[in-house]
Amino acid sequence: MRGCSAMPRTLVVAGNGPVGHRLVAALRDRDLTGGWRVEVFAEESRPAYDRVALTSYVDTWEPRALQLDGATYDGDDLVNLHLGEPVLSIDRAAKKITTRSGSTVAYDALVLATGSYPFVPPVPGHDLPGCHVYRTIDDLDAIRADAEKAGRGRRSALVVGGGLLGLEAAKALRDMGLSPHVVELAPRLMPLQVDEGGGGLLRNLIEKLDVTVHPGTGARSIEQDRGRLLATLGNGTELDVDLVVFSAGVRPRDDLARAAGLAVGERGGVAVGHDCVTSDPDIYAIGECACVDGTVYGLVAPGNAMAEVTADRLLGGQSTFERGDTSTKLKLLGVDVASFGDAHAATEGALEVVFNDAVSGSYKKLVVSDDAKTLLGGVLVGDAAAYPLLRPLVGRDLPGDPAAMIAPAGLRAVGVGALPDDAQVCSCHAVSKGAIGAAVAGGCADVPALKSCTKAGTGCGSCVPMLKQLLTAAGVEQSAALCEHFGQQRAELFEILRSTGIRTFSELITRYGSGRGCDLCKPAVASMLASLGGGHVLDGEQAALQDTNDHFLANIQRNGTYSVVPRIPGGEITPEKLMVIARVAQDFGLYTKITGGQRIDLFGATVDQLPAIWRELVDAGFESGHAYGKALRTVKSCVGSTWCRYGVQDSVRLAIELELRYRGLRAPHKIKAAVSGCARECAEARSKDFGVIATEHGWNLYVGGNGGFTPRHAELFVSDVSTERLLTIIDRFLMFYVRTADRLQRTAAWLEAMDGGLDHLREVIVADRLGICADLEAAMARHVESYADEWAGVLADPAKLARFTSFVNAPGTPDPTISFRSERGQPVPLGIPVAVGR
Amino acid sequence: MTAVEVWTPVCALADLLPDRGVAALLSGAEQVAVFFTGGEVYALSNMDPFSGAAVLSRGIVGDVGGVPVVASPMHKQHFDLRTGSCVDDPTVRVPVYPVRVRAGTVQVGRP
């Protein structure tokens, strides 16, 4: 089949959900000869997005944040995406489809990926205004509109259905500020995935989070009542709510297939074989609309597997879809829930091993074969840390006694070594243990490298702890030791310094390290001492620890000269101060350039010129900009509501306040920040370590962004907070980062490597789960209070000034190797002959 | 040996900060980097052979596997203070200067 690209055949794809998109992406990836032209017909008006992550839409209300990679097919001439244009009928005899706008398109092959629709039980009043379903971005927009219409005060909502989707909906509603009630017909939550014991614990954990659960009953009626809704439950309970969300399961969308006379399953779904082909050999069905052996899979992983099979078959392959993996692990309202394999012990002779700890709030069950040797499935609630190790073992021999494996710390003892090479570690991207081992052997030395190389860990993220274990097992050191002189990590050394009160490098290395130190540990310890309020960075022994930039309080450039960056908070500067900078540059013959952080960099200063330059700058009211330090750099801002006709908050004022608050803060790496005055985001705050974006009601805070080599968008951390609350959260966030990150680890990488990721960070910083927030705030208060300009400190101290000499035996003699030429009217370094590499 | 020994006094030993370097100018625009670490004084060429900039005196002093080194402030290659050999690339070496302390004054000789 391959190679006949002269006249590509036409593939029509009806449906553009995640599975439809996966099919097109997989086909285009492998169809190297352009054998297929693809026409995609989508019902929704936006490119394919991640429906599994729908709940997170509430964090940003930004549809593009959910958009799947490559969903627009930009630049691919062989894919045409028709948005808002669903297929309405199929003419199998003529091999043509007709769309909503009336166009007909002939196909050589047709793939049905129409997904499913939410099932709404026929409760009286189910179609009243204020009643919703939960499946698309448009559904969430409609829910939000109703939530905002609801008056102030205690607002509440009813969720009909306590399955996975219902609990997701409850979370979204809670994040919108409503108190959710969840009603579930079954006697427990998540009846499909979780057994009775797990369901009981799940309910306890979730009710602590302001969600009321009504199990074993349904919604009897919904009526309008004084501008709100009155919901009556089957057990007689009456609830006053502002809106109702139905999430009582989904049904396959097989109407198109039925109308075309294709075979359907007994309980719905387009019947397909293991080749994903329907009763018409030219028509395939995949995902939630398909029915394989009587089973309709309502999860994305089996759908993706069907998409891969179909792509392969369209290109002449013979792969088959065997059995969908219905394993699930998710965090519902902060509670870990995992279910895998035969969770309900349906296999004949299956045995259950249960570990239930109501005190610590964890429930674990393993289902094993009758000889207790083979793992068949399991349920984990409250603590699902064992999931990534257990799921790949389903259908295989257990490496130990099942009871021991779910006992606390039992799995740690078993470890990743128990997995065979073909076991899937990352089920989202089907990455095996062997593939990860190969990537490690090929040079991937940390989790971020493995993520970009193998895609493992980039889906749900549940396998990240396994990736770390695999790296360790392969002998790749996991940033444990700071350097050859200290076996501790940076965070451990920070705690040592904090608790022992040691404030010199020599005492630290004598008591906790070995040797004399090096260019890795010395600046790292100097930075920690500075973060702990160690006084001027050039005081006493500290001076010898500093990298050349911190030692001369300027940035070294390629010819050994330095650049000077005075602080310009928020990028706001008076003409008078601009003239001072201009005069200094002119007097000292410095090259000037505007930086990305909205300030001005002056290049070409020699060591002995630095004090004279700074004397003029300090006298004019400037202070160090810390451009040379692993420290807060700038807080960039747009012009904000003062001038901008779109601005909703005064971004400049906040940027200045933040920059002055955190100036001089030494950290594991540099810290960049920005404030935008409206959602247009002109300050590019989402590329910063922390970025603030104004809303109508306050500020949204984003954390963990990065430009540079590995760009990463900052993620929404808290929304619509007041300025006061914002400062408290940033105080905690920055101090937690300063204390716990590795050496030279930006916030983005710190967050990537953190177990539990953003959710965990939010629990620590916002919910204060570790009870350390008061301490973090106090530490930041000490920093703010003790801040003093480093350059003013140098100018006031003759001993420090004495170090700024070109030659110890000829002070004032310029370095003869430094010379300049002119380029575009400014001085630039004259090339120096390099001895090595000739 | 019949060669005339030339020693240039560069500074007082007390002027040297432990584990930190200074630059000194010899006749003929030659620059040396002088370090004081572990009770010893060392002198290397100040010229970083990798970047071509005269900056080695501004590097961090420490040890690599017990070998006393300075790390170039430009790209962090380590040079053995005793031999001038680059620890990260043994094919590269910077000139080492004899150094001695006479009556509290540090003196640098010819390489």
Alpha-carbon A653 to chain mean position: 29
- Per-residue confidence (pLDDT) for residue A685, from 0 to 100: 96
- Per-residue confidence (pLDDT) for residue A540, from 0 to 100: 84
Q: What average pLDDT values come out for chain B (111 residues) when binned by 10 residues? A: 73 91 89 94 96 95 94 94 93 94 92 77
> Do residue A78 and residue A54 come from a single domain?
yes
- Per-residue confidence (pLDDT) for residue A833, from 0 to 100: 55
Mean pLDDT of chain A: 89
- Per-residue confidence (pLDDT) for residue A757, from 0 to 100: 84
Which has the closest alpha carbon to A760: A704, A700, A821? A704
Residue A10 β-bridge partners: A37
| Contact yes or no for A366/A402 (Cβ under 8 A) | yes
Higher-pLDDT residue of A750 and A709 is A750
Distance CA A708, CA A625 (A): 20
Q: Would you tell me the crossing angle of helices A490-500 and A521-531 to the nearest 10 degrees?
A: 50
Q: Which range in A320-329, A445-454, A532-541, A645-654 is most confidently predicted, on average pLDDT? A: A645-654
- What tokens does A270 get? 């387009």
Where do the H-state alpha helices sit in A603-744? 610-619, 651-662, 723-740
A746 Cβ contact list (under 8 Å, min separation 6) = A669, A670, A689, A706
Q: Once rounded to an integer, what is the mean pLDDT over residues A253-271?
A: 94
Full domain range(s) for residue A17: 9-116+252-314
Higher-pLDDT residue of A143 and A411 is A143
> Do residue A225 and residue A306 come from a single domain?
no
| Cα of A596 to nearest chain B Cα, Å | 23
Distance CA A54, CA A39 (A): 26
Instruction: Say yes or no to pLDDT of A412 above 50.
Output: no
Instruction: Say yes or no to pLDDT of A479 above 70.
Output: no
Amino acid (1-letter code) at residue A203? R
B66 contacts A817? CB cut-off 8 A: no
Q: What is the torsional sign of CA A421, A424, A425, A431?
A: positive
Which has the closest alpha carbon to B99: B47, B29, B2, B21? B21
Distance CA A456, CA A416 (A): 15
- Per-residue confidence (pLDDT) for residue A509, from 0 to 100: 94
> Do residue A234 and residue A267 come from a single domain?
no
Instruction: Say yes or no to pLDDT of A303 above 80.
Output: yes
Q: What's the number of domains chain B is made of? A: 1
In CATH, what number is assigned to the domain containing residue B60? 2.102.10.10
Q: Which among A485, A547, A559 has the least Cβ separation from residue B60?
A: A547
> Do residue A135 and residue A242 come from a single domain?
yes
In CATH, what number is assigned to the domain containing residue A472? 1.10.10.1100
Instruction: Say yes or no to pLDDT of A134 above 90.
Output: yes
Q: Which among A516, A549, A836 has the least Cβ separation from residue B49?
A: A836
| Residue A766 included in any domain | no
Residues of chain B with Cβ-Cβ distance to A522 below 8 Å are: 60, 62
Count each helix (H run) and each strand (E run) in chain A, helices first: 27, 38
Tens digit of pLDDT for each residue in A417-433?
Answer: 677 787 778 776 778 88
Higher-pLDDT residue of A447 and A142 is A142
| Residue B20 included in any domain | yes
Q: What's the number of domains chain A is made of? A: 4
Higher-pLDDT residue of A659 and A376 is A659
A409 shares contact with chain B (CB less than 8 Å): no
Tell how strand A79-82 and strand A36-41 pair up: parallel
Q: What is the torsional sign of CA A776, A777, A778, A780?
A: positive
Neighbours of A86 (CB within 10 A): 18
Q: Once rounded to an integer, what is the mean pLDDT over residues A104-124?
A: 94
- Per-residue confidence (pLDDT) for residue A4, from 0 to 100: 47
A835 contacts B25? CB cut-off 8 A: no
**Percentage of chain A exceeding pLDDT 70:** 95
| Contact yes or no for A505/A525 (Cβ under 8 A) | yes
> Do residue A240 and residue A258 come from a single domain?
no
Please return the burial class of A133, using the count of CB atoms within 10 Å of its CB with bins 0-12, 13-18 and 19+: buried
- Per-residue confidence (pLDDT) for residue A66, from 0 to 100: 87
Distance CA A147, CA A168 (A): 16
- Per-residue confidence (pLDDT) for residue A262, from 0 to 100: 95
Instruction: Supply angle C-alpha B71, B77, B80, rounded to 5.
Output: 65
Of A216, A248, A280, the domain-final residue:
A248
| Residue A30 included in any domain | yes
> Do residue A275 and residue A217 come from a single domain?
no
> Do residue A203 and residue A298 come from a single domain?
no
**Percentage of chain A exceeding pLDDT 90:** 58
- The values of phi and psi at residue A598, to 5°, are 65, 45
- Per-residue confidence (pLDDT) for residue A837, from 0 to 100: 43
Distances (CA, A) of A353 to A90, A340, A365, A367, A527: 51, 14, 6, 6, 51
Identify residues of B whose CB sits under 8 angstroms from chain A CBs. Answer: 8-11, 15, 17-20, 22-25, 29, 31, 34, 37-38, 47, 49-55, 58-66, 68-69, 71, 73-74, 76, 78, 89, 92
A813 contacts B25? CB cut-off 8 A: yes
Least confident range from A463-467, A549-553, A781-785: namely A463-467
> Do residue A47 and residue A34 come from a single domain?
yes
Tens digit of pLDDT for each residue in A135-157?
Answer: 999 999 999 998 888 766 668 99
A838 shares contact with chain B (CB less than 8 Å): no
Residues of chain A with Cβ-Cβ distance to B39 below 8 Å are: none
Q: Which among B9, B22, B51 has the least Cβ separation from residue A558?
A: B51
Q: Which range in A49-63, A470-484, A810-824 is most confidently predicted, on average pLDDT? A: A810-824
A810 contacts B9? CB cut-off 8 A: no
A519 contacts B71? CB cut-off 8 A: yes
Residue B8 β-bridge partners: B108
* A-B contacts (CB, under 8 Å): 113
Mutation target vs B (from A484, A518, A553; most B CBs, 10 A cutoff) = A518
Please return the burial class of A151, using the count of CB atoms within 10 Å of its CB with bins 0-12, 13-18 and 19+: exposed
- Per-residue confidence (pLDDT) for residue A832, from 0 to 100: 60
| Residue A447 included in any domain | yes
| Residue B2 included in any domain | no
Higher-pLDDT residue of A534 and A788 is A788
| Residue B66 included in any domain | yes
| Contact yes or no for A203/A188 (Cβ under 8 A) | yes
In CATH, what number is assigned to the domain containing residue A190? 3.50.50.60
Q: Which among B20, B73, B78 has the least Cβ separation from residue A556?
A: B73
Distances (CA, A) of A683 to A610, A670, A689: 31, 18, 13
Mutation target vs B (from A484, A510, A514, A516; most B CBs, 10 A cutoff) = A516
Give this prediction's pTM. Answer: 0.61
Least confident range from A162-166, A304-308, A503-507, A752-756: namely A752-756
A545 contacts B64? CB cut-off 8 A: no
Of A200, A219, A248, the domain-final residue:
A248
> Do residue A231 and residue A292 come from a single domain?
no
- What tokens does A752 get? 């990537």
| Residue B3 included in any domain | no
Instruction: Say yes or no to pLDDT of A607 above 70.
Output: yes
Neighbours of A443 (CB within 10 A): 9
Q: Once rounded to an integer, what is the mean pLDDT over residues A77-99?
A: 95
Q: What is the separation, in whole angstroms, between the first and last Cα of chain A?
A: 54
Q: Would you tell me the crossing angle of helices A723-740 and A490-500 to the nearest 10 degrees?
A: 100
> Do residue A136 and residue A281 come from a single domain?
no
| Residue A709 included in any domain | no
Q: Strand runs (DSSP E) across A164-269, as ranges? A: 179-184, 212-215, 219-225, 228-233, 238-241, 243-246, 250-252
> Do residue A137 and residue A243 come from a single domain?
yes
What confidence tier does A461 reach under pLDDT thresholds 50, 70, 90?
Answer: low
Instruction: Say yes or no to pLDDT of A835 above 60.
Output: no
| Residue B41 included in any domain | yes
Higher-pLDDT residue of A192 and A367 is A367
Residues of chain B with Cβ-Cβ distance to A515 below 8 Å are: 62-63, 66
| Cα of B58 to nearest chain A Cα, Å | 6
Q: Once rounded to an integer, what is the mean pLDDT over residues A688-692?
A: 97
Which has the closest alpha carbon to A10: A33, A49, A34, A38? A38
| Residue A819 included in any domain | no
The position carrying tokens 């002998």 is A475
A119 shares contact with chain B (CB less than 8 Å): no
Mutation target vs A (from B10, B19, B22, B69; most A CBs, 10 A cutoff) = B19
What confidence tier does A19 reach under pLDDT thresholds 50, 70, 90?
Answer: very high
Of A552, A570, A600, the domain-final residue:
A552
Residues of chain A with Cβ-Cβ distance to B65 below 8 Å are: 484
Q: Which among B19, B25, B52 has the least Cβ separation from residue A834?
A: B52
| Residue B42 included in any domain | yes
> Do residue A440 and residue A469 come from a single domain?
yes
Residue B70, helix vs strand vs coil: strand
Instruction: Say yes or no to pLDDT of A2 above 70.
Output: no
Residue A619, helix vs strand vs coil: helix
| Residue A619 included in any domain | no
| Residue A810 included in any domain | no
| Residue A680 included in any domain | no
Instruction: Say yes or no to pLDDT of A669 above 90.
Output: yes
Residue A185, sorted as left (phi over 0), alpha (psi -120 to 50) or beta, turns out to be: alpha
| Residue B1 included in any domain | no
| Residue B23 included in any domain | yes
Q: Once rounded to an integer, what is the mean pLDDT over residues A103-122?
A: 94
Full domain range(s) for residue B43: 8-108
Least confident range from A71-75, A258-262, A646-650, A751-755: namely A751-755
What confidence tier does A526 reach under pLDDT thresholds 50, 70, 90?
Answer: very high
Amino acid (1-letter code) at residue A284? Y
